Amino acid sequence: MAAVTGVVLLLAPLLLPRPGLPGLAALASGGAPEGAYLQIAAHPDDDLLFMSPDLLRLLARGARTVTVYLTAGEGVAGLRDGHPPRRYSIDRQQGVRAAYAWAAGVRDRWRRSLMTVGRARVEVDTLTDLPRVQLVFAGLPDGGDPRADGGRGALSRLWADPGGPTCVRPFTRPTVCLTHSDVLDALRVLMRTFRPSVLNTLDPDPPPGVADHPDHVAAARFAAAAAPRGVRVVVYRGYPTLPLPPNLTAAEHEAKREAFAVYRRHDYRAGPGRRYDAWLQRMYRGSP
């Protein structure tokens, strides 16, 4: 049973698409797609880097979209520099909120709440001017964070121990130690709540050659395991897109670059760099 509590209104500066932006205008043409689209990602920015421009097209057309971020994305913040990891996690949340509002063409204003999903508590943010758009932050530790229970690779270790004793306390709300089953149960509750017709996630079985982030793989495997029958699953390649040729149109690339620029203002570690530039020129779907 899902319970929602603690509604808070977040006010942020207005951030609307610039009039006449050709890339976003091209993505916005056409009516709102039918059905509900659920994205399950490992980190705040995976959706912008690897599921876009498909995601941006959904937002620009006013589709029903819910995106779940399994980890807090704190990474190594505070270990190699003086940036507090909790502040960095909050900054990344602000970045994806701003980017989603930008792509949807509405104010960056959200209603925030907490939701109980099985033994887990997650934050659910609803875009005030377009409530069909929601973000869910599960807050598990980033795989790069050695401060998590058991050290690095928290999400991968949870996936690798079904039915076993491995448990990890969320980075954002470390009150309950969650197991593999708890993560699956939480995702199943979210799917029953939001009732997606399409599940977009990362690649659970990336091709050899360029290693993907272990968090991407674990998140995709949890997503696929939790998906109910009848839901169409679409997977997107992550890091392994690097050696592949650019495949976006000029308008798609422009919209993706602009959306990520909005996010990047809040993420001190997000480039610029050749890898980011390459990801912004590509989007490849895989096979579930």
The string of DSSP codes covering 169-231 is --SSSTTS-B-HHHHHHHHHHHHHHH--SEEEEE-SSPPSSSPPPHHHHHHHHHHHHHPPTTP
State residue 29's pLDDT score: 82
State residue 22's pLDDT score: 67
Average pLDDT, the chain: 92
* Per-residue pLDDT tens digits for 21-56: 667 888 888 888 999 999 999 999 999 999 999 999
Does the pLDDT value for residue 127 go beyond 80? Answer: yes
- Mean per-residue pLDDT, 195-208: 96
- Number of structural domains (the chain) is 1
- Mean per-residue pLDDT, 263-274: 92
State residue 135's pLDDT score: 99
State residue 12's pLDDT score: 42
Does the pLDDT value for residue 264 go beyond 90? Answer: yes
State residue 285's pLDDT score: 97
State residue 247's pLDDT score: 98
Does the pLDDT value for residue 17 go beyond 50? Answer: no
Q: What range defines the domain where residue 260 resides?
A: 3-279
State residue 129's pLDDT score: 98
Q: Which of 16-20, 217-221, 225-229 has the lowest mean pLDDT?
A: 16-20
* Per-residue pLDDT tens digits for 235-258: 999 999 999 999 999 999 999 999
The answer to the question of residue 31 being in a domain is yes
The answer to the question of residue 25 being in a domain is yes
State residue 7's pLDDT score: 43
State residue 4's pLDDT score: 52
Name the token pair of 7: 């509604």
- Mean per-residue pLDDT, 149-155: 95
- Mean per-residue pLDDT, 2-19: 45
Percent pLDDT > 70 in the chain is 92
CATH code, domain carrying 115: 3.40.50.10320
- Mean per-residue pLDDT, 156-160: 98
The answer to the question of residue 123 being in a domain is yes
Does the pLDDT value for residue 11 go beyond 50? Answer: no
The answer to the question of residue 36 being in a domain is yes
β partners of residue 223: none
State residue 10's pLDDT score: 43
The answer to the question of residue 285 being in a domain is no
State residue 6's pLDDT score: 46
- Dist. CA 281–CA 276, nearest whole Å: 9
The answer to the question of residue 147 being in a domain is yes
- Dist. CA 18–CA 159, nearest whole Å: 42
Side-chain-side CA neighbours of 102 within 13 Å: the count stands at 25
Q: Residues near 202 by Cβ (< 8 Å), separated by ≥ 6?
A: 40, 41, 42, 46, 50, 212, 216, 217, 219, 220, 223, 235, 236, 237, 238
DSSP designation for 285: B
Does the pLDDT value for residue 148 go beyond 80? Answer: yes
The answer to the question of residue 97 being in a domain is yes
The answer to the question of residue 287 being in a domain is no
- Mean per-residue pLDDT, 128-152: 97
Percent pLDDT > 90 in the chain is 83
